[in-house]
């Protein structure tokens, strides 16, 4: 038996802030174009005003996407790939 009533508002809970597959795809595309986190957050919020995501959720999604893209790649290879993509080489 719990000593408190069930939560009526999940606004601050991570479950309410989870991202859909479509939102994750959009975040990945915009991050690849070097769009700032705040602008990505604004774009997602315009699509769904009831979303309760925060900017840290966007940062976490970008970090996860980058990590998935760099599986099996050494740090030096990651740096070299970054320079090639950004036309620094």
| pLDDT of 55 | 92
Burial 3-34 (b: 16+ CB within 10 A, else e): eeeeeeeeeeeeeebebeeebeebbbebbeee
| pLDDT of 56 | 93
| pLDDT of 1 | 59
DSSP three-state, residue 54: coil
Q: Which residues of the chain have pLDDT under 70?
A: 1-2, 4, 6-12
Could you give the CA distance from residue 41 to residue 78 in angstroms, rounded to a whole number?
Answer: 26
| pLDDT of 37 | 95
């Amino acid at each position: 038996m719990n000593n408190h009533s069930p939560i009526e508002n999940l606004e601050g809970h991570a479950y309410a802030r989870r991202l859909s597959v479509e939102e994750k795809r959009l975040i990945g595309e915009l991050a690849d174009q070097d769009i700032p986190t705040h602008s990505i957050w604004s774009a997602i919020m315009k699509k769904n005003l009831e979303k309760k995501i925060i900017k840290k959720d966007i940062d976490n999604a970008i970090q996860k996407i980058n990590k998935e893209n760099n599986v099996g790649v050494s740090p030096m290879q990651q740096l070299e790939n970054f320079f090639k993509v950004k036309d620094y080489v």
